[in-house]
Each structure stands twice: as structure tokens, then as C-alpha cells.
Amino acid sequence: MTSWKFYGRRDELEAIKLLLTRERWFFCAISGRRRIGKTSLIREALLEARGGSGPAAALYVQIPDSDERDVVAVFTDALAAFAAANPGRLPVGVTADKLRRFSDMARCIGALCRAGIVVVIDEFQYFNRKALSAFTSLLQAEVDTLTGSASGGIFVLGSIHTEMTALLEDRGSPLYARVTDRLTLDHWDFATLFQVFADQGLDSPRDWLTFWSVFEGVPKFYRDCAYQGTFSADGRSAADRIIDTLFLSARAPLIEEAGTWFLRELRGAGVSLLRLLARQQPCAQQQLSAAYESLGDSRSFATYLATLIDRYRLVERLNPIFAQPGSRQARYQIGDNFLAAWLAAIEPAVQAARVQPPAQALRIGEIRLENHEGPTFERMVRKLMAEASRRGVADFPLTDLVHGYWNRPRDAARLIEIDIVAINETEQRVRFGSCKRSSGKHTREALATFEQHVGDFLATASGRRFKGWHQERALYSPDFPADERQSLQAAGYRCVDLNDYQRWLTAPNLN
């Protein structure tokens, strides 16, 4: 096991280093979910831009969801901390004890930039709140005077996409058309994750699935795992280690994470909807609506669902292959693994631990996390297929996103359910895939059902599009023992597991 280091993000890192070294003022917006590594990325770029001798002069402030007085007080504290760490670096006339209002804060930011200092404003989306919105006009005045100058810059970081868009891209916003550069940070890719797993001595594909099903590609969570020793195999399952060390132990660094960073912001009905979805995802809108109505409030269901999809990007809308965007066949699932795992498995374990022995609480969480891993593994396979295809190492090159297929039973003689439908239009190849979180579940009966569903699909209007195409059957699991792989391949199935993707995505020619 090695010590923790900065992983991945090389393209984004080079983009930020270019901003810091091109001797031109910038106003850069960086968006991404909480804990995705926005601040760490800037810190690493500042460090590398100075050749490793120490970070360039930068002031960092995290905006609270509060009022003007509190925001200015937080900025004042950040300015005082910067002055203490960088003696003599503040421009003449700038002192922490002279800030009272947003106008003072905006002028201070302008003066810092003119002195060649980089200002990093985190949680910038809170300036879309009515109580804080006056600041954007004041900042605009400073930005307009800074545009075209030769030093300094502003990074604004935000975790709520629609509110960042409203602040920076809406024509009516004071900061419209002022941003010079934009970056959107997504989860770590799998190539980076496999490197992390290797460095931390995590060599079990089954454990890879468990860690990804909880933490997906969020750097901060994996760093916590490293610091708490969660990667270390000690005879316990990965689920047991995760829940115990990060959520139930005395030090439990993530116990407040979901409630603080997700559910507090949503509150009320939005949280209720997520809880319902976590119990039965993915599910159709009709199922979700009926369950929501049973709680006694049906009036705002569509509004809350749309908010979770469009504003917070916490829910994904899935369509079967070839379905129109507004199809009634759509299904919904929570699009953030950490939040889904918390609601479905970890929170019940935390609550149980308050009144039950720790071993019983852990068992509750472990069983529920296993159930959570079923739909999560399908999601993982689709993303792995897309990344491998994008990097040119796939066993099935894609020409479209990977979909599944399902019908509406009331409209058909029987249910059709196919986990993976992947197409290569150029070569006229289609792959039908079945995902099981344990290779042993690809039984003779399961394979017969899989074949029946594929056959029924090919008889539908959608399936008939593949007439004359080369058809493949693929089975996916975290790991296939050699004898199982050999037996299934002899029966005409291609077996693909996480070991295959790890080998393809970490090949030397890709690094």
C-alpha cells in the first residue's frame, strides 16, 4: 500500500496550469458534485505551476448559505488567514478589518487580482439566493475592469448546475458573458480507479464493485478510505469494512455527509421521493407516483421529480433502446451512488446501531448493500463499456450509448427485460448482455430466461431493426472463475468481468 497522492485529472490539471501561467487575467467557472475534487484540483495546479516549490498566492473562501453579514465575515477570516500565511503579500490599502459590506468584498477581490493573487470562491451557487444576489452586480463591476489585464484571476466553484448556469449564463444575470473559461468535473474514470485500487492493495473484483457502488468516482471518499484503513483486507467483507470504519465507528468521517451535503439542501418532499426511489430503483414513473401518493401528497410529484433530475442531477431518467425521450417506458434511478447507498443500506444500519448490537447493525447494512449492488452493477457495466470504447480498447466498439430494453407488461403478452443492448452501427453488430453480481447466478435457468427475453425482443418493432445484424450474447459479472468462463463460452456466451476491464484500461499504451 502506498501513501495517498493526487490521482488522475491530467487534462483538467493542464487546462488550469495554462490559465495560471499564460499571464492574462481569467474568470474560470468549475462545476461538479460536492467532494468531486474541485478545490484539490486547483491546489495541485497551483503547486505544479510553481514547479513544486509551494503553492502560488491564492485566497480561498467557501461561501456559507447565509446572509450578507455572515458571508463578509467568512471572507474577512479568509483574508486574515491569507495575510498570515503570506506576509507582505496583500496590496496596499487592503486589510481584513475594513470589510463591512458586499461592496467592500468585491473591491477587495478586484485589488487582490490586480496584485497578481488568485481568488477562489467555493459554493458560488449560493449567490443565486435572493439574500446574496446583490453581490453579483458588484462583482461584475470589478470583473469588467479586470478583463484584459495581465495578472491574477478568479475561480468560482459550484455544485448545483442550474444555479451556476443562472448566475453565469442567463442573459439577465450581471455576470452573463463574463466567464473566460469553464470546466466541468465528473467522477474519476475507471482507469484512475483501477490505479487507486492497485496502489491501495485492493485486488478483489468483488470488492471493486462494492467500493464503486458506494463511492463511485468521488476522490474525497477514497482518500477517507485510505486514511481510515478501509482498503485493508482483514477477513471482513468490503461492505462490513466500509460501513463500520466510515459510518459506525467513533471516528466515522462520513456519518454526516449525506445529511449535510444532500438532504439538508433538498428537505421535505424531495427527500421523501429519493427514499422511495432508493427502495425500488430503477422503477417506472407510475410505480414511483403511486408510492408517493400513498404518503398523502400527489400534487407536486412531477415538480419534485423534475427538480431532482434537472436542478440537482440526482435522479437519472432511463429509456429503453430506440424509445422516444418522452416515452412512458422510462425508468428512474438515483444517479449518485453514495446517496443511493446511504438511503438504501447505510442509513438503516446507522439507525439500527443506536439500539442494537453493532454486529446486528452491520449485518443489516451488509444485506441491504448487496441488494443495492444489483442495479448498480448494471450501471457500472454500461459506464465501463463506454469508457473502454472511447479509449479504443473495447471488446465491443460502440457507436451509441449503451442501453437496456424493457417493455410495459400490460401492453405485451409477457415481460421482456434485457440488461444490456449495445450496438455498433458501422459493423452492424448488436450485443445483448445479462448482468449478475455473482457469476454463479448465470445458471441454466437464468440463461434460458435471458434467451427467451432476447427472442421476444427481436420479434418486437424495435428488435426487428436488427434483422440481418451479427448478434452476440454476453454475460457480465465482477469475476468469472476459469472453469465457469470455459463452460459458458463453450455454450456460445462471451464472458466479461472486471478483471478484463482492468486489464484493458490500464494497458501501458494508455498511460
What confidence score (pLDDT) does residue 327 get? Answer: 87
The DSSP string of 283-323 is EEHHHHHHHHHTTT--TTHHHHHHIIIIIS--EEEE--TT-
pLDDT tens-digit series, residues 184-206: 999 999 999 999 999 999 999 99
Mean pLDDT, residues 407-423 taken together:
83
Which of 121, 270, 210, 245 shows the shortest CA–CA distance to 437? 210
Which segments of the chain belong to CATH 3.40.50.300?
Answer: 10-184
- Confirm if 380 and 216 have CB atoms less than 8 A apart: no
| Cα separation, 184 vs 42, whole angstroms | 13
pLDDT above 80: residue 510: no
CA dihedral 143, 122, 50, 55 (to 10 degrees): 130
- Classify domain 10-184 at the CATH topology level: Rossmann fold (3.40.50)
What confidence score (pLDDT) does residue 488 get? Answer: 98
**Sequence-ordered list of residues with C-beta below 8 angstroms from that of 399, at least 6 positions apart, any chain:** 423, 424, 425, 426
Cα dihedral across residues 231, 235, 240, 241: positive or negative: negative
| Cα separation, 344 vs 340, whole angstroms | 6
pLDDT above 90: residue 501: yes
Strand, helix or coil for residue 121: strand
| Cα separation, 490 vs 472, whole angstroms | 14
| Cα separation, 231 vs 221, whole angstroms | 12
User: The sheet that has 494-497: what strands, in order across it?
Assistant: 403-406, 417-424, 429-435, 470-477, 494-497
Question: What are the backbone angles phi and psi of residue 478, rounded to the nearest 5°?
Answer: -60, -35
Lowest average pLDDT, out of 223-232, 324-333, 403-412, 441-450, goes to 403-412
What confidence score (pLDDT) does residue 299 get? Answer: 63
pLDDT tens-digit series, residues 9-38: 999 999 999 999 888 999 999 999 989 999
What confidence score (pLDDT) does residue 298 get? Answer: 58
State the chain's mean pLDDT as an integer: 92
What confidence score (pLDDT) does residue 54 get? Answer: 46
Mean pLDDT, residues 150-178 taken together:
93
What confidence score (pLDDT) does residue 161 get? Answer: 82
Which of 83, 346, 120 shows the shortest CA–CA distance to 240? 346
| Cα separation, 64 vs 168, whole angstroms | 19
**Sequence-ordered list of residues with C-beta below 8 angstroms from that of 26, at least 6 positions apart, any chain:** 19, 153, 154, 180, 181
What confidence score (pLDDT) does residue 268 get? Answer: 62
Peptide bond between residue 478 and the one before it cis (omega within 30 degrees of 0):
no
Into which CATH architecture does domain 258-335 fall? Orthogonal Bundle (1.10)
Mean pLDDT, residues 408-422 taken together:
82
Share of the chain above pLDDT 90, in %: 77
What confidence score (pLDDT) does residue 412 get? Answer: 56
More confidently predicted of 237 and 285? 237
pLDDT above 70: residue 210: yes
Report the DSSP pairing between strands 403-406 and 417-424: antiparallel
Mean pLDDT, residues 172-180 taken together:
96
Q: What is the DSSP letter of 92?
A: T
Task: Tally Cβ neighbours within 10 Å of residue 128.
Answer: 20
What confidence score (pLDDT) does residue 267 get? Answer: 61
What is the pLDDT confidence band of residue 272, given thresholds at 50, 70 and 90? confident
pLDDT above 80: residue 351: yes
Mean pLDDT, residues 135-161 taken together:
94
Which segments of the chain belong to CATH 3.40.1350?
Answer: 381-510
| Cα separation, 495 vs 509, whole angstroms | 24
Which segments of the chain belong to CATH 1.10.10.10?
Answer: 258-335
pLDDT above 90: residue 389: yes
What is the pLDDT confidence band of residue 328, given thresholds at 50, 70 and 90? confident
More confidently predicted of 404 and 261? 404
Whether domain 381-510 has CATH 3.30.70:
no
More confidently predicted of 298 and 181? 181
